[in-house]
Structure 1
Amino acid sequence: MSTPHDYLPRDPAWRTPAFAPFYKTTVHRAPRAPLLSLRNTLSEITGPVFGHDDIGPLDNDLIRNYAQDGEPVGERIILHGRVLDENARPVPGALIEIWQANAAGRYRHRNDRYLAPLDPNFGGCGRTLADDEGRYAFRTIKPGPYPWGNDSNSWRPAHVHVSVFGRAFAQRLITQLYFEGDPLIPRCPIVRTLPDPAGVELLTARLDMNAAIPFDCLAYRFDIVLRGRRATPFENRPEGT
């Protein structure tokens, strides 16, 4: 058995800036001192290992996994793609988790005070394992945009948060995807922190009519690339794994 090794520290050149004056909360939370790189513990680099027994039959179906007495309101969609390395090879067994607002733009969270209604049949969370070809898929409701307190009229584009777990706690990447054609994307201060405009394209899920189900739902494809020049921008580790 090979000996586990620490993961490489993050490359600051790939990071979105911690301080961006047009993104108001960074003014208060940006670090005042240089960041430190801490060594990983043995448990962080050797576990967990996720298996299909850990995933319920409805975990990737957000239309049904929280439904109480009907289906949630909103545009039904399929969100699918592949988890790939820098050479477009599949990454099997990755645990993909998503969370999102409902069709009205409200999260099922006690701190969300947006005046939009909660949907009693929508929880907004799901998870699945990538198959042997790195493929994953969710059924869900397309989230709505919502206002936030960056300035007097800031709105988040419709988006879905995505977490990807590898085979260790230290192998977690977090990002969020947007939807093709949304006019709010270039107006969002969070999106504008990306140093390379091409990064926005890498965070945009594309309409995929080939995967749509006629008379049921549209589909959007979002491939997650872990490393390399075309890697998906990640919030917690922009340079990838």
Structure 2
Amino acid sequence: MLDHDSEFIARDTASHPPALTPIYKTSVLRSPRLPLISLQNSLSEVTGPVFGYNELGPLDNDLLRNYAREGGEPIGERVILHGRVLDGNARPVPNVLVEVWQANGAGRYRHRNDRYEAPIDPNFGGCGRAVTDDEGRWHFRTVKPGPYPYRNRLNDWRPAHMHFSVFGSGFAQRLITQMYFEGDPLIRHDSIIATIPDPDARERLVAKLDLGASVPLHTLAYRWDIVLRGRRSTLFENKLQGN
């Protein structure tokens, strides 16, 4: 751990997984072998960009429609995802760019390197973005992503999950994590989630069913708040200082 004037504080391994976690095979090759070095951020990294609503298209947060062909719609379980971005004192954080990307309802990403045999949905792109309002609120419409197998252990499957990026006031403040869905039986079998030693930290990555925000006879809703700092903060994959 560096002194208090440094920009780098050691990761809290009681909450964050260590860099080397052999249960997740790819960490063996990509985890650092030498201590990390703290570098002074440049001006371009700690300032800008500034995001506003005028930079978003009308369908950017509607994954059901933003890639669909005329008259078409994605295949899968329709869901609404919503929540707030909050600081460590539960205060809303406005004007934050929240981006999501995901697999389609069959568990396949629209990416040339995805070789899973599930079909590509011609009406689903799998990407969206939103800017938080004055109360820190964001929401997306999408289809619930399907699980998919991955080459880790013999029969490992990823639970349904969404990738989230939260962009702060500078390029160095981009935070990335994954969100899961309440009740998914694959969560307790997932090798990636298993690298997180703190059960409470794992639970903070799970969106809760929110029937109050659902559309009757049409769409279920899930709520997931993103907490940037403090004891109840969301676990981020690339947040060096941990929780």
Match of 1:154 among 153, 156, 161: 156
SS in 2 for 1:140: strand
Distance (whole Å) between structure 1 residues aligned to residue 6 and residue 133 of structure 2: 25
Aligned counterparts, 1:44-59, within 5 A: 44-59=45-60
Aligned counterparts, 1:79-228, within 5 A: 79-228=81-230
Query: CA 1:240–1:86 in structure 2 vs 1: closer, same or farther (change >3 Å)?
Result: farther
Aligned counterparts, 1:38-77, within 5 A: 38-69=39-70, 70-77=72-79
- Conserved in 2, the CA contact under 8 Å of 1:231 and 1:240? no
Number of aligned residue pairs: give it: 236
1:23 equivalent in alignment to 2:24: yes
- Deviation by residue 1:186-233 (Cα, 9 ceiling, x = unmatched): 111110111211111100000000000011100000000000000000
- Conserved in 1, the CA contact under 8 Å of 2:10 and 2:242? no
Match of 2:235 in 1: 233
- For structure 1, which runs of at least 5 residues remain unmatched after alignment? 1-5
- For structure 2, which runs of at least 5 residues remain unmatched after alignment? none
Please state how far the C-alpha of 1:28 moved relative to its aligned partner: 1.3
Distance (whole Å) between structure 1 residues aligned to residue 242 and residue 30 of structure 2: 23
SS in 1 for 2:146: coil
Which residue identity is paired with 1:172? Answer: R
Which residue identity is paired with 1:56? Answer: G
Distance (whole Å) between structure 2 residues aligned to residue 58 and residue 37 of structure 1: 40
- Deviation by residue 1:147-191 (Cα, 9 ceiling, x = unmatched): 000011000000000000011111111010000000110111110
Identical-pair percentage: 66
- Once the two structures are overlaid, the 10-residue window that deviates more, 104-113 or 231-240, is 231-240
Distance (whole Å) between structure 2 residues aligned to residue 43 and residue 26 of structure 1: 30
Which residue identity is paired with 1:236? Answer: N
Distance (whole Å) between structure 1 residues aligned to residue 140 and residue 125 of structure 2: 14
Please state how far the C-alpha of 1:239 moved relative to its aligned partner: 4.3
SS in 2 for 1:170: helix
TM-score (norm 1): 0.95
